[in-house]
Amino acid sequence: MNKYIALLCLFFGLKNVVSAQENSSTLRGKIICIDPGHGGTALTDSYRVGRAGEREEWVNLRVGLLLQKKLEAKGATVIMTRTVDKIVTLPERAKLALDNKADLFVSIHHNATADSSVNFPIIYFHGNGSENQASVALGKALASRLLKHLYKSKTPVSVVSDFTVFAELGASVLRNTYGTPAILAEASFFTNAEEEQRLKLPDYNEKEASAYAEALEAFFSKPIEKIQPKNSIVPVIPAFKVFQEAERMTPIAKRWKQDFMEGEKLIKRKDSTSLQQAYDLFTRSARSFPDSYVAARCHANRARILMQTGKTKESEQEAQRVKEYYIAFP
């Protein structure tokens, strides 16, 4: 009998601990919209798959479902844009968040590029950083947790505006949920062979979901900045059209870092021919991999060259892109 009572005490004691954790979580009572990116795209998106056959939308969904459980265990209400491998349109995804008055929107993705050595996190917010500080803070919180759970500490991170990749409108799900803290995160690259194998592992998916859960909890533990109307502080001045997902799988795109490094050498020569060649290389690098961790430096070097060649207005616009679109981390 004593053993039975002890077991009951242990059981109810653990329940009380779980209940206390749920009650104390900053996520309690929050409405979170989780958007596992893509879905149902196997017949249309031939590039959205690793060399060993793992498709991005499968990984996105696995991580999203694990995150849903973690957030609900902490007292949050979770809205899923999809729970199976099916197509849900971009406007429908954003509408789910808005209709349910979500406190936060997070779109889960994994990335691809022609350079199979690449593997680092990229996290997007919508618009200008100075106007969307809440989403920037959320992006930084996630970046630090992804490094903690999935990477070595010195791995580069990009926290960038979605205008770096979609220069005219930004990403649909972020544009259409603007006003709500929202990010679209590419946690890693499935085109990296080693990472693709890790992404197949349930324990690894669990680690990624834990990174999201910790980031969201940390985000709500601090005051949240009000999101300003777009273009109310500074105007969005798009640069040039950049390579989209399929184009980023081409041989030219594979030169992204080489172009940057060659441009860095040429810019030191000062003569007009070298400066023009450097400018072209920085432009091509930024076009090939506009959200990479060297893209901000490409744009900064373009601004420098434009200033040196007397194009003051263009230089100032380019410097503004660096400031608003590329967030220093940490």
Tokens representing residue 248 in the block: 């980023």
Contact present, 117 and 255 (Cβ < 8 Å): no
pLDDT digits (tens, 9 = 90+) for 15-27: 454 455 556 899 9
Distance, CA of 149 to chain centre: 16
As a whole number of angstroms, the distance between CA 127 and CA 129 comes to: 7
Beta bridge partners of 161: 125
CATH no. for 2-219: 3.40.630.40
Beta bridge partners of 106: 34, 183
Contact present, 327 and 159 (Cβ < 8 Å): yes
Beta bridge partners of 123: 159, 185
Q: Is the peptide bond before 36 cis (omega within 30 degrees of 0)?
A: no
Domain boundaries, the chain: 2-219, 247-327
Range 79-107 average pLDDT: 97
- Is the alpha carbon torsion for 220, 223, 227, 233 positive or negative? negative
Confidence grade of residue 114 (pLDDT, cut at 50, 70, 90): confident
Residues 6+ positions from 270 with CB-CB distance below 8 Å: none
pLDDT digits (tens, 9 = 90+) for 193-238: 999 999 999 999 999 999 999 999 999 999 999 999 999 998 877 7
